[in-house]
Structure 1
Amino acid sequence: MTTQQATFAAGCFWGVEAAFREVKGVVDVESGYTGGTTRDPTYQDVCGGRTGHAEAVRVTYDPAVTSFEDLLDVFWQIHDPTTPNRQGPDVGTQYRSAVFFHDAGQEQAARAAKERLGRSGRLPRPVVTEIAPAGPFWRAEEYHQRYHEKHGGGCAI
């Protein structure tokens, strides 16, 4: 099986991870930090708001079963892409909405999907989702992995 990766930030990574784990064709999902400047940040570093990182998930998927576009559809449905640096009660740059693309095809698909969503009239405000190249992904501490499975929830998405 040949797999591909996609990286998304949509608020607290616990619920985002759980949502992507439900998608047929998703092989693995890891919670972590990306989009910032600090090497190997901790949760406390990221929550301090000075690293530039977002709480994010790295999705490994089988493109023979699900497409990047299918993953984008899930991404748009599980969070509010119109609130800058916020999802529900969680506030800060680490909770921003972002697609971190791994290749030109993902970038093109993300930009097109964002534009379609913005023109759809479904949302009360403009879509503020950042679309940026994927950089280093720092896996979050083990207690964040599969958080919903271990603890039955935690943050709202």
Structure 2
Amino acid sequence: MPIRPLPLVALTAALCLGAAAVAAWPETPANAAAFPAPPAEKPGIKGDQVAVLAGGCFWGIEGLFEHVRGVKSVTAGYAGGVKADATYRAVSTEKTGHAEAVRVVYDPSQVSYGTLLKVFFSVGHDPTQVNRQFPDVGPSYRSAIFPQNSAQREVAASYIAALGKAQAFSKPIATKIETGAFYPAESYHQDFLRRNPDNGYIRRYDAPKLAALRTTWPALYR
């Protein structure tokens, strides 16, 4: 019997699920006040700023940051590789060097870069997993930060060190600070969580991120 190809979105969901066993979502901070605060930043930053973060399948990270106060837009895409290979089909081979990532445009007068990192580390993903994020396995699902300037790089490095010193997690933090351009993903990936709230993957792995943001950092949720 010939194999009937899956529709594009169904194929995407199947690839995003991967073949690994399902793992439980990590616990959010029991005491939000005890979770280390990000380092202080230089005051007076003017105009919209950009943060690029990678923490597993970009559907959930994108959907999470769309609900953070002060964020103006979020784009799903690929970071850390070259433009020619920045396609879902190519990146899914795990040979291009890209990470699934998001480009967050934010207003620094409303939310700081460090606060975005606090959300990223505390409720966005499990930063202790190496080259995977629960059922998604491979370097494209790695935990990584792509600073857009030297100030962001300094904040990111200081915060990772502070989280390690505070033993915020039971395992070492695997998040790497990297360089590389960002390339938007295909249109069918954009706003996937918002457009597909009943998708099985979204309900199992990404809806809990929104719930964790709302309960752990209510002042940041919108």
Q: Shorter-normalised TM-score: what interval?
A: over 0.9
- What is the rounded CA distance, in whole Å, between the counterparts of 1:7 and 1:31 in structure 2? 10
RMSD over aligned CA atoms reads 1.4
Query: By percentage of residues, which structure has more helix?
Result: 2
- What is the rounded CA distance, in whole Å, between the counterparts of 2:82 and 2:188 in structure 1? 23
Structure 2 counterpart of 1:48: 93
Per-residue deviation, residues 77-136 of structure 1 (Å, max 9, x unmatched): 211111110111110000000000001110000001101111112212111101023x22
Q: Is 2:64 the partner of 1:16? A: no
Q: Is 2:138 the partner of 1:127? A: no
Conserved? CA contact 2:83–2:183, under 8 Å: no
TM-score (norm 2): 0.67
Structure 2 counterpart of 1:118: 164
Structure 2 counterpart of 1:97: 143
Q: Any gaps of 5 or more consecutive residues in structure 1?
A: none
Q: Is 2:130 the partner of 1:84? A: yes
Per-residue deviation, residues 18-66 of structure 1 (Å, max 9, x unmatched): 1111111100000000112352521010011111000000000000110
- What is the rounded CA distance, in whole Å, between the counterparts of 1:41 and 1:132 in structure 2? 17
Q: Any gaps of 5 or more consecutive residues in structure 2?
A: 1-45, 207-222
- What is the rounded CA distance, in whole Å, between the counterparts of 2:144 and 2:134 in structure 1? 16
Residue identity (%): 44
Structure 1 counterpart of 2:187: 142
Query: By percentage of residues, which structure has more strand?
Result: 1
Conserved? CA contact 1:40–1:138, under 8 Å: no
